[in-house]
Amino acid sequence: MIDDKYLTFIVVANEGSFSRSAEMLYMSAVAVRKQMNVLEKELDLQLFKRTSQGVKLTDAGEILLEGIQTVKGASEQVFERLSNYRNSLKKTIRIGMSLMRPGTPLIEIWQQKNQQLSDFNLQITAFDDAEVNLSSPSARLGKDFDIIVGPNDGIRWQESIQTKVLGFENFLLAVPKNHRLAEKRVLSFDDLKNETVLLPPRNESPNIELISRDLEENHPEINLVATANFFTPNIYNDYANQDYLVFIRETWRYLSPSMIVIPVEWDYKGPYGVMYSREPRQAVVEFVALITQE
């Protein structure tokens, strides 16, 4: 490490002024002068020519500046190499992120468990929500990235991936801007009478199936329509000019500039969590164990 006096010296040499250097270093001008006086005394050399306009380097000062800048540059390179080496010892976890699966819960856990996860590095890889289908959240999972965080209750997904639930989030309704309910702050079941609600494919998610049955049994006046595939961001554009109310997760509420997202007086929630390969790397196994640990 380079002594603070030498770092202060570099600033004074470049600024040519004790007061300007003090401002840059968030110190008092008196403290800067004192450090330079001590440095000159230690070296037994005059480093500055002091004038009413400021300070200029002496020949000795020029020699010191050249040398200390060289030492500073070499020191920074050494610490950069050490930092890179330290990072190379960490286990890299590749996170797949998309518009509808931004990994927000994982980032929150990372911040909460920073100490426990200090041996890991996160590497973000973008993927397209169009890759999500009934068979897999992404064919690239386990190849181009290790983990996806998002809705994880697809029935057929369980055949090819592992999942761990991190929590549950509320279901809301996205309403077209010109719809009669668009001005409502909260929707009730009475508001939804004779309306059509668009849901993901019910037979592909136990959770959606249970919600659909509850609506059919207790609120038969609400019409239910299911899509053929899981939702993508295009769902909002596709139904923005229709009378459908789109059943969405709270995570997706800001993806819909063409629709108004409104909470509903119901208790319907959907699980979200970690999805990863059936044959993960050991580092992934350790990472998942830590983030799902109570």
184-213 per-position pLDDT tens digit? 999 999 999 999 999 999 999 999 999 999
Look at residues 33, 69, 25 and name the one whose alpha carbon lies nearest to residue 54.
Answer: 33
Q: What confidence category does residue 128 fall into, taking pLDDT thresholds of 50, 70 and 90?
A: very high
The hierarchical CATH code for the domain 94-275 is 3.40.190.290
Q: Which of 56-65, 140-149, 253-262, 275-284 has the lowest mean pLDDT?
A: 253-262
pLDDT at 243 over 70: yes
Distance CA 120, CA 288 (A): 11
Q: Is 89's pLDDT higher than 80?
A: no
Beta strands in 12-62 (DSSP E): 48-51, 54-57
Domain with CATH 1.10.10.10 in the chain: 4-87
pLDDT tens, position by position, 136-163: 999 999 999 999 999 999 999 999 999 9
Residues across the chain? 294
Contact by Cβ (8 Å): 198, 247: yes
Give dist(CA 261, CA 249) in Å, integer: 10
With a cut of 90, say whether residue 240 has pLDDT above it.
no
- Residue 242 confidence (pLDDT): 84
Q: What is the pLDDT of residue 87?
A: 62
Q: Which part of the chain is CATH 3.40.190.290?
A: 94-275
**Does 198 or 255 have the greater pLDDT score?**
198
**pLDDT tier at 1 (50, 70, 90 boundaries)?**
low
- The CATH architecture annotation of domain 4-87 reads Orthogonal Bundle (1.10)
CA–CA separation, 96 and 145 (whole Å): 6
Phi, psi of 286 (to 5 degrees): -65, -40
Q: State how far the alpha carbon of 26 is from the alpha carbons of 9, 32, 186, in Å.
A: 14, 10, 52
At residue 83, does pLDDT exceed 80?
A: no
Rounded CA-CA distance 179/196 in Å is 12
